[in-house]
Amino acid sequence: MIAELSGEFSWWSEGEVLVRVGGVGYLVHLSARARERLLASREGEQTTLPVALVVREETIELHGFGSKDERATFLLLLSVPGIGPKSAHNILAVADPRSLQRAVLEEDPSVLTRVSGIGKKMAQKIILELKGKILTLSDEAVGPDAPRPKEEHNDLVAALRALGYTTKEAREAAESLRSVPPETDLSEKLRQALRILGGR
């Protein structure tokens, strides 16, 4: 799978660029953040874009992103039945990867209902589809075992770091949850920590 393109770029249309690599021009559909990034560059300059190859019944498309996190989130969104590339781009134009991850973990549909064409029912479906996948990614980042309080504290910090928070932010949020009951599982602590960080 093509994951990244590096080469000179030129504008093809308002939301598309042509990236020339080894004498071949690749047409890339841009996310809003990738477009903003390239608008700050000069046409003809070298650029490196994280990309995703989307194969559909009648077309094969390359989509470009502002970051690897945005690319990964785009692919997660495509795993939701009823969400195609256009809807995924619309969601990412409203919510960056961290905001979307937080909305899913906190089961907050309001972030998604701000997107044109997505009502409350679809927003809840997206949250239901993505919640397990995002929690699984966090669990992989912190490891499978967390039996003791100190290890649980470290796991929570690691999970928050995996979601893009700084070490300082993650540690402060984890410290503020020292008094929660010891039987509270990691996913619930993660939700509480995200609420704390979101209130700052």
CATH number for 59: 2.40.50.140
Residue 198 has pLDDT above 90, yes or no: no
> Of 98, 121, 137, which closes a domain?
137
Highest mean pLDDT among 64-68, 180-184, 186-190, 193-197: 64-68
Do 99 and 127 sit in the same domain of this protein? yes
Predicted pLDDT of residue 147: 41
The CATH number linked to 181 is 1.10.8
Looking at the structure, tell me whether residues 133 and 82 fall in a common domain: yes
Higher pLDDT, 174 or 138: 174
- Burial string for 9-22 (b: 16+ CB within 10 Å, else e) reads beeeeeeebebeee
Residue 151 pLDDT level (bands cut at 50, 70, 90):
low
Burial of 38 per CB tally in 10 Å (0-12, 13-18, 19+): buried
Q: Is residue 1 very low, low, confident or very high in pLDDT (cuts 50, 70, 90)? A: low
**Considering the domain boundaries, does residue 69 fall inside one?**
no
Task: Evaluate if residue 137 carries a pLDDT over 50.
Answer: no
Task: Write out the residue range of the structural domain in which residue 91 sits.
Answer: 75-137
Against a cut of 0.75, is the pTM above it? Answer: no
Share of the chain above pLDDT 70, in %: 88
Within this chain, do residues 121 and 148 fall inside the same structural domain, yes or no?
Answer: no
Instruction: Give me 160's structure tokens.
Output: 């928050």
Spell out the residues 6+ positions from residue 109 whose beta carbon is closer than 8 angstroms to its own.
103, 120, 123, 124, 127
End of a domain among 64, 85, 102? Answer: 64
- Please write down the HEC assignment for all residues of the chain: CCCEEEEEEEEEECCEEEEEECCEEEEEEECHHHHHHHHCCCCCCEEEEEEEEEECCCCEEEEECCCHHHHHHHHHHHCCCCCCHHHHHHHHHHCCHHHHHHHHHCCCCHHHHCCCCCCHHHHHHHHHHHHHHHHHHHHHHHCCCCCCHHHHHHHHHHHHHHCCCCHHHHHHHHHCCCCCCCCCCHHHHHHHHHHHHHCC
In this structure, the answer to whether residues 147 and 128 fall within a common structural domain is no
What lies within 8 Å, CB to CB, of 184 at 6+ separation is none
More confident call, 195 vs 152:
195
Number of domains in the chain: 3
Mean pLDDT of all residues in 110-128: 93
Q: Are residues 147 and 191 in the same domain?
A: yes
137, 154, 188 - which closes a domain:
137
